[in-house]
């Protein structure tokens, strides 16, 4: 079988990625010392890169699959197949300004204030494309500046016709830029603590982002690569689904069994097995975590003994196989 090349991210996505891969059953070594860690699947080659680069390299076919952030997929506009929302590394991309500006609480009021005073609004960000789109979609921006693109400034080039609103490319530590180097920032926020420490406040949420699994479209057309890609997808989706489920075991008297089965949720149907005592049965099933508190009173009344496990994975084989056939 042909190997697949799998890009995994460094930075704030790294910890959640390694934890998810390990929970999926992969054993990875050398990740703290090299950009090419070893994985216990000989048909996978790992490489660590910045999440900003991963959508482009996967789109170009230099690698088969990768884990990146939804924010970077939108920023790069890379043409890839999104296979799975991995549901970790949840962040918000926000517009933030100094806390001292108490009269300003939205992009519109920020634009109005700087336009009224005749000053250029300087925004520092790593997200030039998303930021430009966000600004130009704002009704106040359209009223003040029409369809003119904001000035975008990088060390190598400048573009854009509207010098009254300027986006400056940031290479990190974006929250440290105001007030000397920027008036506002557009950056990701997880808890808001970093903004608070730098005397900034968020005034607009532009988008929410999580880690996602992406694939090169041509790689999915290669039968051998596709097989291994769907192996990876199956294991990772098993982790995502497993976080939301509980596996419960209980013993129930035969008189209570019909009432229990009537009220017991399950992925399909619960497994029922007779015990050595003909009056008792063993029942086990997988339920949504959020249902457990709701059904606990029922279990307490009808069952004798209850064992609860959090599964490492719940593998949705039927769903994955259906998805693969539909590709």
Query: Architecture of domain 4-87+210-242 in CATH?
Result: 3-Layer(aba) Sandwich (3.40)
Is pLDDT at 21 greater than 80 in this prediction? yes
Q: Is the pTM of this model over 0.85?
A: yes
The predicted structure's pLDDT at residue 32: 74
CATH code matching the domain that covers 92-209, chosen among 3.90.1150.10, 3.40.50.300, 3.30.70.260, 3.40.190.10: 3.40.190.10
Concatenated DSSP letters of 154-195: -SS-EE-SEEEEEEEE--S-GGG-TTTT-SEEEEEESSSHHH
Distance, in Å, from the CA atom of 39 to the CA atom of 279, rounded to the nearest integer, reads: 50
Is pLDDT at 327 greater than 70 in this prediction? no
The predicted structure's pLDDT at residue 14: 93
CATH of domain 245-313: 3.30.70.120
Preceding omega of 251 cis (within 30 degrees of 0): no
Which residues lie closer than 8 Å to 61 by C-beta, 6 or more apart? Answer: 216, 218, 219
pLDDT tens-digit series, residues 307-322: 998 888 887 666 666 6
CATH 3.40.190.10 range(s) for the chain read 4-87+210-242, 92-209
The predicted structure's pLDDT at residue 320: 63
Q: Chain-wide mean pLDDT for the chain? A: 93
Q: Which of 26-35, 112-121, 195-204 has the lowest mean pLDDT?
A: 26-35
The predicted structure's pLDDT at residue 265: 77
Question: In the chain, what percentage of residues exceed pLDDT 90?
Answer: 77
The predicted structure's pLDDT at residue 304: 85
Is pLDDT at 323 greater than 70 in this prediction? no
What's the average model confidence in pLDDT over 188-212? Answer: 96
The predicted structure's pLDDT at residue 125: 98
């Amino acid at each position: 079988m042909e190997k697949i090349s799998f890009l995994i991210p460094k930075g704030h996505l790294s910890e959640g990625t390694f934890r998810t891969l390990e929970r999926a059953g992969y054993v990875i070594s050398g990740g703290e010392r090299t950009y090419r860690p070893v994985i216990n699947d000989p048909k996978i080659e790992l490489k660590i890169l910045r999440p900003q680069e991963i959508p482009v390299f996967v789109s170009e076919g230099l690698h088969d699959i990768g884990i990146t952030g939804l924010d970077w997929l939108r920023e790069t506009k890379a043409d890839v197949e999104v296979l799975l929302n991995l549901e970790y590394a949840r962040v918000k991309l926000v517009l933030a300004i100094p806390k001292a500006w108490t009269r300003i609480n939205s992009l519109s009021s920020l634009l109005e204030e700087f336009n009224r005073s005749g000053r250029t609004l300087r925004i520092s960000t790593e997200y030039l494309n998303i930021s430009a789109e966000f600004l130009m979609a704002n009704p106040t921006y359209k009223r003040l500046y029409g369809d003119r693109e904001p000035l975008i400034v990088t060390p190598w080039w400048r573009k854009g016709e509207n010098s009254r609103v300027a986006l400056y490319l940031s290479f990190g530590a974006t929250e440290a830029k105001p007030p000397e180097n920027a008036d506002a920032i557009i950056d990701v926020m997880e808890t808001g603590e970093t903004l608070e420490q730098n005397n900034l406040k968020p005034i607009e949420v532009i988008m929410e982002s999580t880690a996602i699994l992406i694939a090169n479209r041509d790689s999915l057309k290669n039968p051998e690569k596709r097989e291994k890609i769907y192996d990876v997808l199956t294991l990772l989706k098993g982790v995502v689904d497993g976080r939301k489920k509980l596996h419960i075991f209980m013993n129930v008297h035969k008189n209570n069994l019909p009432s229990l089965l009537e009220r017991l949720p399950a992925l399909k149907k619960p497994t029922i097995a007779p015990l050595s005592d003909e009056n008792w049965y063993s029942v086990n099933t997988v339920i949504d975590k959020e249902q457990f508190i709701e059904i606990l009173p029922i279990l307490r009344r009808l069952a004798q003994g209850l064992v609860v496990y959090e599964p490492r994975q719940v593998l949705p084989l039927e769903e994955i196989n259906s998805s693969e056939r539909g590709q």
